[in-house]
Chains A and B, each alone.
Chain A
């Protein structure tokens, strides 16, 4: 179909060889002369007043260089304190279990660890509020001192939402709320032939990147220059934040984004400002590497959520109304995606009448951050499960019901924005054609006799069921830029400032090769640091190829024009009409003998005494039009009603990539996100005790999917071109995580005839739903 030569092809990762040989450098691999190792003392309480900290014993331990508490740190204006980034160490009060209280700098990590145990902190425990619903009550204790203005810089990197969240007017745990309405909600329910009302709960889950957070910082007092080596999704974001917190101009800060061992939204900025402050205090390099326990306890996981949902449908399968109350538990600092959730819960299907309220509520738990399509899986679990229940009640095919109501270009979101080109219907159609979905009837028929024999819900023998669900993600927007340069030997270097986690540099190489019509081998992509690279926004919001890719394309086009201009003069041709670029040569069309090589062009633009200016292409773009990405997924599960155990047997994921610049990378994103969705559905949960202490801060008990838990994931790439993306591409990183919980919930009901309304759907919850315990 496409006439492209390099984009659209499955290309192996350009940096793959470094990763398979162990040569890639991650932050924990950095060792600098005179470097100190940092460990943080984390609060053992969810809410307490700090009455005193005695660091005497820790300070005198041999090998300890410095013990730092909030008393040693710069102070900020009160309004800043709503932003976790400014709370470098707890000052007078701890508001979640795991909050950093003190930092030790020592000659090695073991000594620092030992010194932590010698720090004596006197706490006075304060009332905690842990459940977000209870936290909304007027008489609930406050999770923390009231917040006024809320800094949302980081959240905006993931989703561009054109609504203003309303901050609370009086001291309350509600940090923000948003409400959307459309039509007449009561009329909508009156017209419905089936109305279903349920409450859906989803747990706090962790991004689960295998590399814990890590940062190294070095400060040179003489020059005032700060260098930060860190794994981050957004090196320019880190630079901005550190500049604001340390009050150092950005000209003096160099952030070097190293290879990142997974982020998924959780690795934008966390410890970088603190480590920078510590490095400035001691004038030596400081390294902080989180342990897994540190990371699970005190990084920024994905919120717990409660959705009260009422929906109505007519006999013909058309939707009439949705009423939703969404409550996200933001933990101890604002940051939960209330507005995004409100848009998404009513955003995939056309509801003529809607009333959606969404709340961001503070509690004494770790504050949340972004995790792949932040907030989306929580609401998709509710709406996509309930759609199935309504379809089941009306004996309609749940996929056809979705197709009948699915949004398309021009349809309105709950926020009243209108969709550009989108591919939800095409994803649903792709799933309809998969073997796993087509086998659905057979599964039902096979298990029907067993169900009937057992009364209503099936209670004996392993039973199979098939479920499906859809989901989407609006996608982020941010300006981006890139350089493309002609090297001395005629090869091409692309310079970007976006941190590559998902294979974006491979896609950029493909784009530059495509535009210049050269073999991929002629192109090298470099991620510069913040001192050298052209600006790019954070790698988040599924927007890196969508935005930076456009900048690379523009920069490569610029290079081509510059090459054409020089070649035209040399070859006496018209640059617009007569020239073409083929395999590293600029040729006069129709006269292949009249050509000039890239190598020659490099010589006459860079050599000593060369007559022409160097060839350097510039691409800088603004991004204003989102390109929402949708996915539909189907799975077959086997449920043992005796034990409640669920085995996932087959899974198919269809997703609209707009145009898959690298189908290998796109499929990899789809499989990875799908697996995380499965994890949320079946196994993952950060469990807190009644005092707000995390009970499972390790990877044995925080149960992420292993190779034995998941089946082969079949991928179906759908391509409905976006308006603005390069070659029609749209963001692909996030959508695939969204439907998992609903897919599983729907498949389980198909198998055993009962509905579980809380994820993770553990064996215990299944047995409970079956009435066995």
Chain B
């Protein structure tokens, strides 16, 4: 394609340094998936409406399909692959399995990161707060009930 000048970007993803040489019009999602080969984040819409591509960038939940890769240059990024410590799942991950909140799984990486981002800033959310926190993440399988239960259970488990 008629490419703009390629450039190097640096990220710290899940605590490890990465560098990629990319066209500046590529999205963070594309670079993480295609260059860094971390494919946990998914593309469901490409327009920031479904949340399947959610990542935590410098502490904030972002839809990485809407962020250009150079905008995140130098950022600390957490993807779903970075959530479990050694072999221990994050409480939100554990609760999603136990509560039956996982069905097809495609929205799950984004949904779990949305849940984690919520608990990081609000360890004791109400049901309404949980629903608000995941309202940008579409799930078509579960009807959300078990996801809300799982995030509430994870909040309980971490206190």
What residues of chain A have their CB less than 8 Å away from a CB belonging to chain B?
Answer: 10, 12-13, 15-26, 28-29, 31, 61-63, 108, 110-111, 114, 207-212, 259-264, 289, 291-292, 501-503, 664-665, 667-668, 671-676, 698-700, 704-708, 710, 712-713
What residues of chain B have their CB less than 8 Å away from a CB belonging to chain A?
Answer: 1-2, 23, 26, 33-34, 37-47, 49-50, 52, 79-81, 83-84, 89, 93-94, 96-98, 100, 102-109, 112, 127, 130-132, 134-148
* Minimum C-beta distance from A290 to chain B (A): 10
Asked whether, in the complex, the Cβ of A699 is within 8 Å of the Cβ of B49, the reply is yes
List 18 A-B residue pairs with CB atoms under 8 Å apart, sorted by A's residue number.
A16-B96, A16-B97, A16-B102, A20-B94, A20-B96, A22-B109, A24-B105, A29-B39, A210-B50, A259-B105, A260-B104, A289-B43, A672-B103, A698-B47, A700-B49, A706-B136, A707-B135, A708-B135
Interface centre among B26, B39, B100 (most CB of A within 10 A): B100
Asked whether, in the complex, the Cβ of B97 is within 8 Å of the Cβ of A17, the reply is yes
Check A707/B103 contact, CB under 8 A, given A210-B138, A210-B140, A668-B141: no
Q: Which chain A residues lie closer than 8 Å to B104 at the CB level?
A: 209-211, 259-263, 501
| Complexed CA–CA distance, A261 and B109 (Å) | 12
Check A712/B1 contact, CB under 8 A, given A26-B106, A665-B100, A672-B140: no
Q: Which chain B residues lie closer than 8 Å to A24 at the CB level?
A: 105
Q: Which chain A residues lie closer than 8 Å to B38 at the CB level?
A: 22
Asked whether, in the complex, the Cβ of B103 is within 8 Å of the Cβ of A211, the reply is no
Asked whether, in the complex, the Cβ of B44 is within 8 Å of the Cβ of A13, the reply is no
Check A211/B106 contact, CB under 8 A, given A20-B96, A707-B134, A713-B143: yes
Asked whether, in the complex, the Cβ of A712 is within 8 Å of the Cβ of B47, the reply is no
Asked whether, in the complex, the Cβ of B89 is within 8 Å of the Cβ of A210, the reply is no
Closest residue of chain B to A16 (Cβ to Cβ) is: B97
| Complexed CA–CA distance, A51 and B29 (Å) | 40
Asked whether, in the complex, the Cβ of B1 is within 8 Å of the Cβ of A63, the reply is yes
Asked whether, in the complex, the Cβ of B146 is within 8 Å of the Cβ of A262, the reply is no
Q: Which chain A residues lie closer than 8 Å to B37 at the CB level?
A: 31
Asked whether, in the complex, the Cβ of A13 is within 8 Å of the Cβ of B42, the reply is no
Q: Which chain B residues lie closer than 8 Å to A698 at the CB level?
A: 45, 47, 49
Asked whether, in the complex, the Cβ of A664 is within 8 Å of the Cβ of B144, the reply is no
Our pick among A22, A264, A664 for the contact of B39 (Cβ within 8 Å) is A22
| Complexed CA–CA distance, A207 and B104 (Å) | 14
* Minimum C-beta distance from A566 to chain B (A): 37
Asked whether, in the complex, the Cβ of B145 is within 8 Å of the Cβ of A713, the reply is yes
| Complexed CA–CA distance, A23 and B87 (Å) | 13
Interface centre among A665, A668, A704, A705 (most CB of B within 10 A): A668
| Complexed CA–CA distance, A706 and B131 (Å) | 9
Q: Which chain B residues lie closer than 8 Å to A23 at the CB level?
A: 40, 81
| Complexed CA–CA distance, A271 and B142 (Å) | 27
Asked whether, in the complex, the Cβ of B1 is within 8 Å of the Cβ of A114, the reply is yes
Q: Which chain A residues lie closer than 8 Å to B144 at the CB level?
A: 671, 675, 706-707, 710
| Complexed CA–CA distance, A707 and B100 (Å) | 16
Closest residue of chain B to A700 (Cβ to Cβ) is: B49
What DSSP secondary structure best describes chain A's contact surface?
loop
* Minimum C-beta distance from B13 to chain A (A): 12
* Minimum C-beta distance from A479 to chain B (A): 26
Q: Which chain B residues lie closer than 8 Å to A208 at the CB level?
A: 138, 140
* Minimum C-beta distance from B23 to chain A (A): 8
Asked whether, in the complex, the Cβ of B49 is within 8 Å of the Cβ of A262, the reply is no
Q: Which chain A residues lie closer than 8 Å to B147 at the CB level?
A: 707
Q: Which chain B residues lie closer than 8 Å to A108 at the CB level?
A: 1
| Complexed CA–CA distance, A539 and B132 (Å) | 33
Asked whether, in the complex, the Cβ of B112 is within 8 Å of the Cβ of A668, the reply is no
Q: Which chain B residues lie closer than 8 Å to A22 at the CB level?
A: 38-41, 79-81, 109
* Minimum C-beta distance from A37 to chain B (A): 11
Our pick among B2, B89, B141 for the contact of A17 (Cβ within 8 Å) is B89
Asked whether, in the complex, the Cβ of B103 is within 8 Å of the Cβ of A502, the reply is yes
| Complexed CA–CA distance, A700 and B137 (Å) | 12
Q: Which chain B residues lie closer than 8 Å to A18 at the CB level?
A: 105
Q: Which chain B residues lie closer than 8 Å to A707 at the CB level?
A: 130-132, 134-135, 137, 139, 144, 147-148
* Minimum C-beta distance from A344 to chain B (A): 23
* Minimum C-beta distance from B158 to chain A (A): 16
Closest residue of chain B to A63 (Cβ to Cβ) is: B1
Asked whether, in the complex, the Cβ of A667 is within 8 Å of the Cβ of B49, the reply is no
* Minimum C-beta distance from A597 to chain B (A): 28
Our pick among B40, B97, B140 for the contact of A262 (Cβ within 8 Å) is B140
Asked whether, in the complex, the Cβ of B142 is within 8 Å of the Cβ of A21, the reply is no
Asked whether, in the complex, the Cβ of B46 is within 8 Å of the Cβ of A20, the reply is no
* Minimum C-beta distance from A434 to chain B (A): 15
Q: Which chain B residues lie closer than 8 Å to A15 at the CB level?
A: 105
Our pick among A21, A209, A261, A664 for the contact of B100 (Cβ within 8 Å) is A664
* Minimum C-beta distance from A182 to chain B (A): 37
| Complexed CA–CA distance, A19 and B139 (Å) | 14
Q: Which chain A residues lie closer than 8 Å to B109 at the CB level?
A: 22
Asked whether, in the complex, the Cβ of A262 is within 8 Å of the Cβ of B47, the reply is no
Asked whether, in the complex, the Cβ of B96 is within 8 Å of the Cβ of A668, the reply is no
Q: Which chain A residues lie closer than 8 Å to B142 at the CB level?
A: 668, 671-672, 675
Our pick among A110, A261, A712 for the contact of B148 (Cβ within 8 Å) is A712
